[in-house]
Chains A and B, each alone.
Chain A
Amino acid sequence: MVPPLDHQLSDWRNHALKLENEVKKVIVGQDKAIRLMNIAIFARGHVLLEGGVGVGKTTLLQSIARCIGGAYERIEGTVDLMPNDLIYHTYLGEDGRPKIDEGPLLRAGENLSVFFFNEINRARPQVHALMLRVMAERHISAFKKEYRLPHMVVFADRNQVEKNETFEIPSAARDRFMMEIPIEIPEDRELRKSLMFNVKFQHAENLTKQVESNVLQFDQLNNFSDILQSHIKSSPTLEDYAIDLWESTQSPAKYGIKMDTVDVNRLVHTGASPRGMGMLLKAARVNAWLMNRDSLYPEDIHAVFHELIAHRLVFNSMYENRRTQLAREFTTQILNTVAVPAQAKAA
């Protein structure tokens, strides 16, 4: 018997908040990133993590994967990685004959819940192309049959600092990721001290074992996500606001958006895509649900706006090397300038 909707929403919310609390036990100073990843899980979106080396990206992903339940697979991005390395691998069996086995993408089959692509920008575009297809379609044909991956979410990370032997992820590929979440070193001095001196942070593997496993039922997330998305309503005012935000990414000058260091008209080549805006609203609805509301507020959009939009923007090439900084400033200016309710209507 299916429980009433209110109970479902409430129960799942409790699970979601528990997941956050479990991860926070082992990952400190990343509350916002944890909340965003939680949103991505319930919005069924793939996540690109961006940050330096040794900031805890892998531990974070492993902890979350443990909470979600299901199978967790991982692959390292290298310059010689080929698409077939994701699908199968060959080896010599005990009988001395060559054998072929399923690769990390297929090994767990439908039980795959988290696929972690470490340093995705080190992989070649061919690998990107395969991953993008799987991410979009969630199935792949191999060994003369179709593998379905309905519960899989991809968590990838990239190191923005190091540029040698890396391949920039094209805008179309970035657009497949629901969010790009920055993982930054905590600024709080006490947290930093704890990270340095608390011995529990020395062994990441042991750390993740402290996280309770299977907090969520990974194979029910898709169904619940659909229920959640149908449940959260948006008013005409908010829909107008979302449209204004979208248009402001395409024609910032029209909305009076200004930046200190660059001319916005020359900065933006292409604004957010329709898929991106759809994902934005999807993630915002999850945020509203986590805040125990059944209506979308502007704050829900703000909570995910930068992480949903920044990596989708295509800047003119002269600004690409300052992308991280400019994207942050641009999205901040948009939220600060585009009014809700729209001033034109109010005046």
Chain B
Amino acid sequence: MKKFKNKCYVLLGMIAIFNGAIAQESKIAEAKIISVSNPLQSHGIQVGDVLSRRIVLEVKAPYQLSQQTLPMKGVRTNDVELSQISITKTASQKVIRYSIDLRYQVFSAVFVPSVLQLPAEKFALTGGPQALSVNLPAWKFWFSPLAPKGMNKARENMHMQFKPTLIDLQAHANKLLVFSGMLIVGLLGLVYINADKRWLPFMNGAFAKAHRKLKKLPRNTDGEKQALSYMHQAFNQLHGGNLFANELNRFLSKHPSFVKLSKEIEAFFEQSNQSLFAQNTQNSEQLMADLMILSRSLRDCERGV
């Protein structure tokens, strides 16, 4: 309970200080300023700007606000002109509450930033035995000029308009071009290596054809004979005439890209002779698989891969 009382005293003390502050402004008991609302921004104010203030007063009866002594609309004080004043009155039995809206417009023509102020106003009260008044303090703000001092002609202050500098993208463009080229070449290479179709140039070589045909053959004795025929046709086509085992050296000297497969080619001719002429039974399935590998390798040689 004691604590509660202490808190109440502190609160009352604070209220007393607050009232004292307001009383300091009004300095009378018959009227008091309830609130003063100033513009939110006190800097960057430029010529022509309109600033508003609102003051709310409470006046005890029998006093009331004197209408004749209100600030005059159009009065200019230090380049700040009162452009509008409006009063709203709310009356009760004992007090009258006034809400006064003041609108000022700044007409200063100075060329340097300077401190101006909304002027202090005085509101007189009538109706009572004493001549009382309520003072509204001045409100200072920074005025920002629109133009620098000494500007005579606009031309002197004109600057040449430069086109904004563009960011240099050439290096990126070059990189993009190079990488795109590499990508395309790589893709073409992959297609060239792996594709069986003939929709790219140089893809219709003798061994490419043979490889395509071999893939369609059955894995039996008939297929084996046919596969050997296709392979021989491919060799003959590339050689420009019939190619036999005893002419392999001449063939390889004419087509050096096949040299790395010389052993495989020799083995092929031997297998072919065995199958076609010696009639030795061979494992057709295995032979066909070998021929598939060989034809693919020869196709790669043919394409220079």
- For residue B229, CB closer than 8 A to chain A, the reply is yes
CB pair A343–B242 under 8 Å, yes or no, is: no
CB pair A299–B244 under 8 Å, yes or no, is: yes
CB pair A238–B277 under 8 Å, yes or no, is: yes
Complex interface bits, A317-347 against B, C-beta within 8 A gives 1, otherwise 0:
0000000000000000001111111010110
Q: What are the residues of chain B within 8 A of A235 when measuring CB–CB?
A: 276-279
- For residue A24, CB closer than 8 A to chain B, the reply is no
- For residue B241, CB closer than 8 A to chain A, the reply is yes
A293 to B278 CA separation, bound complex (whole angstroms): 9
CB pair B277–A237 under 8 Å, yes or no, is: yes
Q: Count the A residues whose beta carbon is within 8 Å of the partner chain — how many? A: 23
Among A234, A293, A295, A302, residue most surrounded by chain B Cβ atoms (within 10 Å): A295
- For residue A56, CB closer than 8 A to chain B, the reply is no
Task: For chain B, residues 131 to 185, give those with C-beta under 8 angstroms from any C-beta of chain A.
Answer: none
A278 to B278 CA separation, bound complex (whole angstroms): 20
Binding site of B, secondary structure by majority: helix, strand, loop or mixed? Answer: helix
A238 to B279 CA separation, bound complex (whole angstroms): 11
Q: Count the B residues whose beta carbon is within 8 Å of the partner chain — how many? A: 18
Pick the interface stretch among B96-104, B121-129, B230-238, B255-263.
Answer: B230-238
Task: For chain B, residues 249 to 281, give those with C-beta under 8 angstroms from any C-beta of chain A.
Answer: 273, 276-279
Binding site for A on B (CB under 8 A): 225-226, 228-230, 232-233, 236, 241-242, 244-246, 273, 276-279
- For residue A150, CB closer than 8 A to chain B, the reply is no
A299 to B244 CA separation, bound complex (whole angstroms): 7
Q: What are the residues of chain A within 8 A of B226 when measuring CB–CB?
A: 346
11 further A-B pairs in the complex, CB-CB below 8 A; given A338-B242, A339-B233: A235-B278, A294-B278, A295-B278, A335-B242, A339-B232, A340-B232, A341-B225, A341-B229, A346-B230, A346-B232, A346-B233
Q: What are the residues of chain B within 8 A of A338 when measuring CB–CB?
A: 242
A296 to B273 CA separation, bound complex (whole angstroms): 9
- For residue A233, CB closer than 8 A to chain B, the reply is yes
CB pair A337–B229 under 8 Å, yes or no, is: no
CB pair A237–B276 under 8 Å, yes or no, is: yes
